[in-house]
Structure 1
């Protein structure tokens, strides 16, 4: 018996340290220096996105309100009352534009870099808040919630103290579908991911023996072993004033009742932590297009095993991460300190370049929610699912967390829907679930479905009905997940990885694609004919290198290569980031051209 125990412990140590800690995703990124060309691809992704964001972000107020633009700086000749009114009008119109496009906004009222008149007394601030609330209610059907009031002291300003309010503006339930923010929940096995999801979505505390996680497991064997093996999507429904609608009676089957009253839905994508389910977790991080990654770290175990792997994949895909340290009630103080120190050391490494930020107050939550999209901040929350410590800060953070992409810009583009699950529903027929990447989808719309399993072609199909979180709706827009019932399509003709696109795009499947890649870790050299598994959004398939612009590649190198899929052609779009792996080899890349688009995208 003792021999068996010794063997078992040795085996566990082998899994956690040898296979995961050496030559893993995080180690590959951390080991990069400015001398490695691979670092450029990681940085280029960030720089490219910020440039794109600058180009596609909400137009400046001056663009929309040319006549009122100068009022921000030129109020000479006006009486104080006229200046107050002019600045208020300017703030109301600019806030209206922002909220109309984004659906919600966390705004500063009365601050020097915020909205409206500045240098306010408490009474004037109340007047400003009341005017904004009335305008939003009348013109947009939006609610205003005061999140925080604060005073900017005279020590930091040249004049008297300023009274400022941080307010949340959010549209109420109406014709517009709820805002959706997707968060991938990742971390090492047994760190408490499913328990945290269960506690948040069921508004209950855990009993320390798995009561919360049992409410979110999908399969029987998951309940028996306590380990997630599939991708689970669970929803946190919020109303227009930021109140959580989920209660202890919340069930996946009754979600439509909650979504019908929600103005914002945070979709928590619960992913597997065990090493043997890594390909499923990678599929969740790529195919479900998460806005953010929530990395769960057990305070008593630390940053070990697959926790590092998941962090590395999120970093490679440029998904902003925040960290939730669970089980703080279990961990002794010195263990807790070691866990936080090791996490902060990883985040400060040159290849990662993130700034750890320990969240302790509501003010900290506001700071993090404002700057999460910048991709350089790494908030760290300390929580316990049993005692409830820190859960109020997590809930506030999810409430304030903005969408990372400007989906409003994409709603006017041709429709594209990526399929990540298929079902056969009795009485309905074939149903596909996935994410609307571009455009708007409505019932009776005709789209092209492909690439076909047999020949890679695209065929016309018609959408019979549209459901959002089990709720029948008249339309879904870019940035939302949905389930679509298709007319006269056999279940066998649909698979994960297919897409529905507007026929004006003239979609074609590609056997080959060109990519700008960087090798994070590889024990020898990579040459043509090398094979690896590609994870590119919903595409998960082995591909072979058929051409390279260099003779061979080693760890830290960057090159342009041409991949050829081994099994079937896939639909790829230029500019998409992906990861690839084979054994201990890890790499990242960006699609720069396909057979559909022979001309590489600018800058590559």
Structure 2
């Protein structure tokens, strides 16, 4: 839902005419917002001055509901009528209303932060307030941000600066902490998926490794009301499959596409953006290295760049904090792509980017999260390794349910499609030991026994669940591009969640073949071994320049005994 501060001057940005188009499209009346939404986490209040006890309790209940809708975050527009008209308040009434809102928040154990205020033509003011409450079963509000872009765009350097709190020296010092392997340090290129964290306290101050002397990852988590987990993905074409696996398997809430001002939107940036759009992940763009080259040319090319992948979105160049809040409010619902221009060496633009990350909305409502937690646990394995005396460790994402230490589970599918019983010995999240992981959280779990033959793409399921792998599945697919057409016998790499394997097209339902921009129901067969997939999962396939997306509609389990 639009914030009233999105009604900015349509001529305020000369770098991109699309800003004007966006403003004009959303500015039917400069003194009004759209009517208050019935659903979601945005609430309009004309004023809340000296409410009765009964009225106060009703307001607290209303705030609690908005917080649930926003996964612990709610936006209150003060001085705005339910119809959306910006009436405004006197200074006295505004202060009283803000004090009442703060008391409401305290009642729920929440905090309030005034994002911005605006003086209307009538001399009265309106205010936008962020109310944040950490869910009772969580240490903080967490969002996952996938970091994409061409090799040498400055992704790892930017993450190093954000998470370490120290500027780069211009020779790549900041990125050294991001690399996991020797060949990454030697080449300067990320080849694997690494996880980095950045926290924010209730006042919006960034909490990273420079927050205090010798601060640990555990202390960052404990001190943060909001935690951003960055997934640093590979930018080189050689590692594209790993990048797609990170996007598909870890289900990020947002994607950050990094583009170098010196090179522009070239190389894998186009491919990465196409994948993000295909997976329906909200994204924003960061232009780096503006200390070397002014981003004027890159900004001019972004309009055609965005249209090339069919995203049909318009860029919003972020110049001040007002633009930041506008971008954050519209990130999940509008066709606006926020663009930040930063330098990891001089630090220019980094404060605006940090502010945006602070107000970036979580992806799933508390209500939806609670529903997922009630289901049987399903942990998708993205990596597995043996860690000395600790035992076998599995890294991945818990998509459903809750896992605790000692939980009896089953792992698979094995080569014959069956599952094997195991137990969870210990759990780590963000490099910190914990006793529980909930739906939507990534974690590393240690098993009580060593299981030979484990591979990425397997799942952990509840021990009492009837589970089988499959070789055949049917999906409704749409071909985004193919030089000719897809026929039965076509082999392609499919990505379904954390599953990545070659599959063969066995049959096409309505026709003999599928051309670009056509949709049909297709029967696939995994080429190597069975996988665990389920109806409703999104599917992405690619082979060379050919690519397509779809959704699984039917699964054919193997006839095996557990």
Q: TM-score range by the shorter chain?
A: 0.7 to 0.9
**Residue 125 in structure 1 maps to residue 99 in structure 2:** no
**Residue 401 in structure 1 maps to residue 360 in structure 2:** yes
Of 250, 265, 269 in structure 1, the residue corresponding to residue 231 of structure 2 is 269
**For each residue in 1:250-270, what CA deviation from the matched residue of structure 2 results, as whole angstroms up to 9, or x when unmatched?**
899931222122222111111
Aligned to 1:449: 411
Equivalent runs, 1:270-349 vs 2, <5 Å: 270-332=232-294, 336-348=295-307
CA contact (8 A) 1:110 1:120 kept: yes
Shift in Å, 1:317:
1.0
Aligned to 1:363: 322
Equivalent runs, 1:475-486 vs 2, <5 Å: 475-486=436-447
The 1:508–1:322 alpha-carbon spacing in structure 2 relative to 1, beyond 3 Å, is same
Q: For 1:114 and 1:288, locate their aligned partners in 2 and report how far apart those are by CA, in whole Å.
A: 40
**Bigger relative contact order, structure 1 or 2 (CA pairs below 8 A, ≥6 apart):** 1
CA contact (8 A) 1:320 1:375 kept: no
**Residue 467 in structure 1 maps to residue 428 in structure 2:** yes
Of 64, 83, 86 in structure 2, the residue corresponding to residue 96 of structure 1 is 64
SS in structure 1 at match of 2:427: strand
State how many pairs are aligned: 516
Q: For 1:467 and 1:215, locate their aligned partners in 2 and report how far apart those are by CA, in whole Å.
A: 20
SS in structure 1 at match of 2:266: coil
RMSD: 3.0
**Residue 517 in structure 1 maps to residue 477 in structure 2:** yes
The 1:273–1:503 alpha-carbon spacing in structure 2 relative to 1, beyond 3 Å, is same
The 1:402–1:72 alpha-carbon spacing in structure 2 relative to 1, beyond 3 Å, is closer
**Residue 171 in structure 1 maps to residue 133 in structure 2:** yes
The 1:527–1:242 alpha-carbon spacing in structure 2 relative to 1, beyond 3 Å, is same
Q: For 1:300 and 1:60, locate their aligned partners in 2 and report how far apart those are by CA, in whole Å.
A: 40
Q: For 2:87 and 2:448, locate their aligned partners in 1 and report how far apart those are by CA, in whole Å.
A: 58
**For each residue in 1:252-310, what CA deviation from the matched residue of structure 2 results, as whole angstroms up to 9, or x when unmatched?**
99312221222221111111111111111111111111111111111121111111111
Range 80-89 or range 438-447, more displaced: 80-89
The 1:258–1:81 alpha-carbon spacing in structure 2 relative to 1, beyond 3 Å, is closer
The 1:184–1:507 alpha-carbon spacing in structure 2 relative to 1, beyond 3 Å, is same
Q: For 1:181 and 1:438, locate their aligned partners in 2 and report how far apart those are by CA, in whole Å.
A: 17
Aligned to 1:135: 104
SS in structure 2 at match of 1:495: coil
SS in structure 2 at match of 1:422: strand
**Residue 190 in structure 1 maps to residue 190 in structure 2:** no
Equivalent runs, 1:357-396 vs 2, <5 Å: 357-374=316-333, 376-396=335-355
CA contact (8 A) 1:180 1:479 kept: no
CA contact (8 A) 2:49 2:96 kept: no
Aligned to 1:145: 113
Q: For 1:59 and 1:291, locate their aligned partners in 2 and report how far apart those are by CA, in whole Å.
A: 17
Equivalent runs, 1:206-245 vs 2, <5 Å: 206-245=168-207
Unmatched segments (≥5 aa) in structure 2 = 1-36
CA contact (8 A) 2:50 2:100 kept: no
Aligned to 2:30: none
Equivalent runs, 1:579-598 vs 2, <5 Å: 579-595=540-556
Shift in Å, 1:474:
3.0
Higher helix share: 1
Shift in Å, 1:509:
1.3
Range 348-357 or range 105-114, more displaced: 105-114
Shift in Å, 1:351:
2.4
Aligned to 2:14: none
The 1:133–1:388 alpha-carbon spacing in structure 2 relative to 1, beyond 3 Å, is same
SS in structure 1 at match of 2:216: helix
Q: For 2:355 and 2:305, locate their aligned partners in 1 and report how far apart those are by CA, in whole Å.
A: 26
TM-score (structure 1 length as normaliser): 0.79
